[in-house]
Chain A
Amino acid sequence: MFGGIDPGLLIASLMVASVPIILAAIGELVVERAGVLNLGVEGMMIMGAVCGFIASVQTGSAVLGFVGGALGGAALALIFAVLTQFLLANQVASGLALTLFGLGLSSLLGQGFVGIRPPATEALPFGPLAESPFFGRVIFGHDWVVYLSIASVAVAWWVLKSTRLGLILRAVGENHDAAHALGYKVRRIRVLAILFGGAMAGLGGAYVSLVRVPQWTDGITAGAGWIALAIVVFAAWRPWRALIGAYLFGGISVLQLNLQAAGARIPVEYLSMSPYLITIVVLVIMSSGKGKAALNAPANLGQTFHASR
């Protein structure tokens, strides 16, 4: 069944395909760990895509493009932060409104940039290492953002698990009243987490418009933000599981196209729904396991915090 598909090439392309989802998912994971549910990932991603594209075309630099993308995503996240943290608005509705607003605004901003080719983001020069079989493609054949996406998972894991910052962040997400009583600035921490989430979603969006496609058209992220949201839940709010989830989803998406290209005798209509189906099945298997896999959503996820005393 896998005849004719080179596993090295497959792994290399699923790593690239998953980058936008990993970046956005890690951002959202940190936000949710701080107890905030921001459903506006798609909106922040597409703002990142358009701002990144504009920045890189204007400056001629792909790197500055990613900086612009992160800023664009964070700027939109700031609206969400003001609404939910200062004006105490409902988080679910604010997040969905953010997506609506982001889709509209990105299209307005991008009007003059349709049909332009942005500056290229090249693979990092690993020299002869990139020529080696299998590992050359899988480990040494990528652009810097791919490595950044993996590094962001490692850093998020380390910070959440082993640092004071991570401890405070989790405390805020698990019990904001207690955290407040201990003297932590619940609102400030949550605002910073939201901005971080926006910046990461923006980076992911910029990767779509600068590397994956690369061009600007309306609606270019095509739902990747929703998948990132699903991956956070899939991961049970743990960074490495988010990486696994994104690679699983990205891998099946790429694999089904490869199977088509290799002429596999599996009906295409089943193949094209397989990434969603298999993700559900894997989640069911993982969450039905005994004990450990209990779904540890942050206890205060989505709840409004107001210091009444």
Chain B
Amino acid sequence: MLRLEKRPSPSRFWQGMTPVLAVVLTMIAGGVMFAALGKDPVEAIRTIFWDPLFNAQFASYSRPQLLVKAGPLILIAIGLSLGFRAGIWNIGAEGQYIMGALAGAGVGLAFYPAQHWGIFPLMVLAGALGGWVWAMIPAILKTRFNTNEILVSLLMVYIAQNILSSMSLGLLRNPEGGGFPGSRNLSQYPSASNPELIAGTGMHWGVIAAFMAVIAAHILLQRHILGFHIKLAGQAPRAARFAGVNPTGLVLLCMGISGALAGLAGLFEVAGPAGQISIDFNVGYGFTAIIVAFLGRLNPIGILLAGLLMALTYIGGELAQFMLGLPAAAIQAFQGMLLFFLLAVDLLSNYRVRLGAKVEAA
């Protein structure tokens, strides 16, 4: 009989090995699925994991795109992870992402067509503020009326989506767009655009912000008293109160940071890779980032790696679709499998698997 025994502290060896093991297991299970769909499993796996990085035809373009795709995921996930550690459940990052993009793009478009170096920094501020305000609504409702933040932040996503469609059909609609929905393209308005900074690297301000957030969160959690409070509030709420942690302040702070970072992600995306506000501007980064946060075990470095891995499966999945004719649904299922395995084998780093009789019924 197999038995689990909790390790006194997580195993370093298995922490490093579990992702590798998970990827291998996913390759086997995914390979079986691809074979069942009548595709060559080896080729499919190679296309997803290898080609975006090393294929001569695609890699020089796809590799930088990893950063572009991972940037917003990491930025949002870092913000969320702080709250999650403290037991504060903001699952409405998608809405904060939308509102950040709307606020930032709105500021930029208000200045059109003026050219000034100050416009973009102002947009960045507005973007962070937009996300922050949207996150403050569930935060204040929680601290003031004890309203559950899971529900409010989730429903605020739908409201943000309605505002987004209304904005792209009304206030922010491109006046030269012939009545079509959608704003002007910010990437064609130099003062308000967030371009690739060094050609061929994929680096734009959003990616840089993501890296900065990783470093800042790492320092905060390792060295700063605030990071200690956050961790304490999540692990031992009562002890936290004795240690002088103000729960109201912590809710406002964690929700605010996650909202502002999600808003920033939205702003960098709308001014850069996406280019414009449109009805379908948001593509689910806010929800995927929750997965990224947990895959990275709520640890900044882990989140960085998890974000890059997710981005790889997106981009490799796209290649597999049009190179091999795999349906998009198969890629989605494959991503789901990868997550299952990553989560499942995590067991090995926290527990020892022992053979032998049970001491007591579990």
Contacts and interface: CB of A to CB of B under 8 A. Distances in A.
Q: Do chains A and B touch in the complex (CB under 8 A)?
A: yes
Interface of A: 79, 83, 87-90, 92-94, 96-98, 100-108, 111, 185, 187, 218, 226, 229-230, 233-234, 269, 272-273, 276-277, 279-280, 283-284, 287-288, 294-295, 297, 306-309
Given A93-B294, A273-B159, A87 B347 contact: yes
A166 B343 CA distance: 30
A309 B362 CA distance: 8
Nearest to A219: B329
Given A104-B332, A287-B146, A272 B151 contact: no
A79 B162 CA distance: 34
A294 B155 contact: no
Given A93-B295, A230-B154, A309-B359, 10 more contacts: A88-B4, A90-B346, A100-B332, A101-B339, A102-B336, A104-B328, A104-B335, A273-B162, A306-B351, A309-B360
Interface string B319-362: 00000000111111111110110011111001100000001111
Interface residues of B, number: 51
Contacts of A94: 339-340, 343
Contact of B340 (A101, A106, A218): A101
A309 B327 CA distance: 48
B148 interface: yes
B242 interface: no
A97 B165 CA distance: 28
B347 A92 contact: no
B246 interface: no
A272 B162 contact: yes
A23 B359 CA distance: 40
A98 B294 CA distance: 14
Contact of B350 (A88, A104, A234): A88
Nearest to B148: A233
A93 B154 contact: no
Interface in B1-31: 4, 6
A284 B144 CA distance: 10
14 contacts: A83-B344, A90-B343, A94-B343, A96-B339, A100-B336, A101-B336, A101-B340, A102-B336, A104-B328, A104-B331, A104-B336, A111-B327, A279-B155, A295-B146
B273 to A, nearest CB: 22
Given A87-B344, A97-B336, A288 B155 contact: no
Contacts of B254: none
Given A276-B158, A283-B152, A284-B141, A105 B294 contact: no
Nearest to B91: A39
B291 to A, nearest CB: 5
B290 interface: yes
Nearest to B336: A101
Nearest to B330: A108
A294 B344 contact: no
Closest 4 CB pairs of A and B: A101-B336, A104-B332, A104-B333, A107-B329
B287 interface: yes
Given A94-B340, A294-B146, A104 B329 contact: yes
Nearest to B137: A280
Contacts of B154: 226, 229-230
B155 A287 contact: no
Contact of A218 (B145, B148, B329, B361): B329
B154 to A, nearest CB: 5
A308 B146 contact: no
B343 A93 contact: yes
B208 interface: no
Contacts of A272: 162
B86 to A, nearest CB: 14
A295 B347 CA distance: 32
B150 to A, nearest CB: 5
A78 to B, nearest CB: 12
A187 B362 contact: yes
A105 B333 CA distance: 6
A149 B350 CA distance: 42
Interface string B134-164: 0000000100111110111011101100110
Contacts of B201: none
Contact of B6 (A233, A269, A308): A308
